[in-house]
Each structure stands twice: as C-alpha cells, then as structure tokens.
Structure 1
Amino acid sequence: MIESTTELVDPPNAGNEVETLIGFLDFQRDVLRRKTEGVSADDLARALPPSALTLGGLLKHLALVEHMWFTEFFLGQEPSEPWASVDWDADHDWEFSSAAGESPAYLRSLFDAQVADSDRIMVEALARGGLDRLAIRARRGEEQVNLRWILVHLIEEYARHLGHADLLREAIDGAVGD
C-alpha cells in the first residue's frame, strides 16, 4: 500500500450532480497526489520502457490539462506561464519531457496551484450559471462545451492517466493501491 499524507475522501454516494462531479474530480486529483508522494526526483523522472511516460510528467501534464480547460477554454484567456512561452511545435509533449529536470516540490506546487485556480474558476462559474454555463472558446472549431462536459472530461482524463500512474509507482517501489 502507498503510505501517504493525502487523505482520500470518497465521492458522495447520494449527492446532487454538482457534488458528485466535484467529488469524483477531487478524488482523482488526490489519487494522483498519493501516487507521487514520497517519490524522489529521480523516481518522478523514471520511465517504464518502451514508454517515456513518468510520474513527474503526469503531474505536469494534468496541471496543463486543468489550465487548458478552465483558463483557456472556459474563460477564453490566453495561456499563462509556464505554458505561454513554450514552443509547442518544437516539442508537442513539452510538459512530459521538461518535467524530468524539475524538482518534486516544483511539480507538486505547479499541480496544486493549478488545481486551486481551476477550483476558483469552477466555483465562480457554478454561482453564475451552473453546469450549463458554456465555455468562451470552442473546442477544435466545434461547438462550445459546457462546464458539465469539462468536469466529465477531466474525470476521464485523470482516470486514464491514473492507470499509468499505478503501473509507474508499482515499478518504482512496489507500492500499490490508491
């Protein structure tokens, strides 16, 4: 089992739609925190060949995903640092590749700061239109998505990557479980 200081709170069994969506998203975020706690910089940068995926890369990628969906799409704002100055054409997986040179403290603080920013945006949006509130920016030329879609998409994104995190963490030190 993974030893962690991050407490996992199960999503509500009988919550309303907002409580359930936020409960599942928060649970997924906390599982990622647990999977990356107590892991050295070298281990956060360790890949399981043939994949180049790392736990540190997952932390940074999911921080980017949060930023993209809440700040860029939902609010319609331009990217902020550290994302704004990246040459994405030169390295479309920059968040994954650059994570290897960064400290665990930096990667965790980047992730936690972005989650806090996303939560602030989400709370404001829920107060001003709820889950039906549309994002400012459309997705790949399609119709705009609403906040409900963004929350479900983030839950799906986390769930997919937590499977990767399970394998990576077990390979690092044998730790299993949430």
Structure 2
Amino acid sequence: MDDSSAQTGNSQPPWEPPLAGSETQHLAASLTRLRTTFRWKADGLDTADLSRSVGSSTLTLGGLLKHLACVEDEKFGISLSGAGYGPPWAGMPDYPGPPGAYTFDIDGWAAEDLYRLWDEAVRRSEERLRTALAADGPGQRIAMGADEGLEVSLRRLLFDLLEEYGRHTGHADLIRESIDGRVGEDPPEDWHAVSGSSPVGR
C-alpha cells in the first residue's frame, strides 16, 4: 500500500513496518508483515504437504490458506462495506449459508488452486483497504455491527485481522517445521514466493 510501505532505510525488506510511521502506516504494514510470514510458511509445497497436520490437530497449511482467503473476503467485503460473498464462496455446492464453517475442507483442492485462492483474496483486500483509507482513514464507520446499531471502526477491523493472522501464523509455524524443518520469525530478506503469484514478498 502506498502509505503503509514507507521505510526509514533502504536495507529493510518491503514487508518490514516503518520504525516511526503514522497509525495507518503501522497498522497496514503490520498486517503486510504477518501476511508475508504466513505465506512464506505455506509456500513451495505440493498438495500432499499442504494436507499434512501435526499430532491430533486437523489443521493443515492448505486449510489455513483457504480459511484465511475467506476471512480476507469477509473482512474487506461484508464487514467493511456490506458487500456479499462473491466467487469463489457464493453458490458453492452443498454448503448453504456463510462459508466460514467449511473453509478448512480442502478435499479436491490442488496446491496451485489454494495458493491462487489466497493470493487473489489478498489482492482484493489490499485494493479495498487502500480505497477505504484514502476516503476516510482508519476511524471511519464500517458496515460491521450496523444492523445491531453498533458503531464499528475500520481500525477495529484491522486489529481483528491482525489477531486472526497472528493466531494462524503460529499454527503455520508448527505445521511447516514438521514438514521440512523450515523455521524462523520472518522470511529471508530476498524471499519471493515460488508457488502461485503472491502479492506479498515481492
């Protein structure tokens, strides 16, 4: 995002938040950093590896890619503006109602489709957030809660998504380490996604 990627030095990777930026810059850049770390943890795997879980948990990296793609469309669609679910969620066979309950199901999904799903959802979110912030900043009222007479800000939505990515990036840490030993807090500074066409880690 134009106003969230300003850096104080040339040596920092593009996903590193600024050292002394505005509130909007820090919120958006922190989200970019978490998205990038999550995508790095999930990157470069085949369908079988994206379906692997750890211990008694049923969580998989493929399921997390699908789930977080849905969360992106929920937060920056329904919650932000009230817009309904569009493709690929709307009208999916055998799943009436909101898609949240079945997003972890990746049966029949190939690795390239899961990467594409997440990548495209993040692109949509980045554009929607950029437009919203340019219009009225993080304090603006969003659609979430309006039906109940609540006034919810875009700032709250951003914190909710940061919390969601924080939780699931921790899950991804454990799953990826069990697959091939990949560990680390952040991607290498020169990291680029090798699977799909990720909008992060460019």
Q: Secondary structure at the match of 2:138?
A: helix
User: Which aligned pairs between 1:43-122 and structure 2 lie closer than 5 A?
Assistant: 43-86=49-92, 87=95, 93-97=101-105, 99-122=106-129
CA distance, structure 2, for counterparts of residue 91 and residue 76 of structure 1: 16
In structure 1, the residue matched to 2:24 is: 18
CA–CA separation in structure 1 for the residues paired with 2:98 and 2:68: 20
Cα 1:156–1:91, aligned 2, differ >3 Å: closer, same or farther?
A: closer
Question: Which secondary structure state, in structure 1, belongs to the residue aligned with residue 125 of structure 2?
Answer: helix
Structure 1: runs of 5 or more not aligned: 1-6
- Determine the C-alpha separation between the residues in 2 that align with 1:169 and 1:113: 22
Query: In the alignment, residue 160 of structure 2 is paired with which amino acid?
Result: H
1:140/1:61 Cα in 2 relative to 1: closer, same or farther (>3 Å)? farther
Change (3 A) 1:77 1:92: closer
Give the aligned partner of residue 41 of structure 1.
Answer: 47
Change (3 A) 1:136 1:18: same
Answer 1 or 2: which has greater helix percent. 1
TM-score normalised by length of structure 2? 0.78
Q: 1:151 matched to which residue of 2?
A: 158
Identify the range of structure 1 (49-58 vs 135-144) with the bigger mean alpha-carbon deviation.
135-144
Change in 2 beyond 3 A, CA 1:90/1:37: closer
Percent identity (aligned):
39
Question: Does the CA contact (< 8 Å) of 2:70 and 2:100 recur in 1?
Answer: no
Change (3 A) 1:93 1:51: farther
Q: Which runs of 4+ in 1 moved over 6 A?
A: none
SS in 2 for 1:128: helix
What is the CA–CA distance in structure 1 between the aligned matches of 2:147 and 2:96, rounded to whole Å? 16
Q: d(CA) in 2 for partners of 1:33 and 1:156?
A: 16
Find the aligned partners of 2:36 and 2:27 in 1 and give their Cα distance: 14
* TM-score between both structures, scaled by the size of structure 1: 0.88
Q: Given that residues 72 and 122 in structure 2 are in contact (C-alpha distance below 8 angstroms), is that contact kept between their aligned partners in structure 1?
A: yes
Asked if 1 retains the 8 angstrom alpha-carbon contact of 2:17 and 2:26, the reply is: yes
CA drift of 1:89 comes to 6.5
Match of 1:29 in 2: 35
* RMSD, matched Cα: 2.1
In the other structure, the counterpart of 1:168 is 175
After TM superposition, the structure 1 stretch with the greater mean CA deviation from structure 2, 88-97 or 154-163, is: 88-97
Deviation of 1:109 after TM superposition, in Å, equals 1.2
Report the number of matched residues.
171
Residues 134 and 144, structure 1, Cα contact 8 Å, conserved in 2: yes
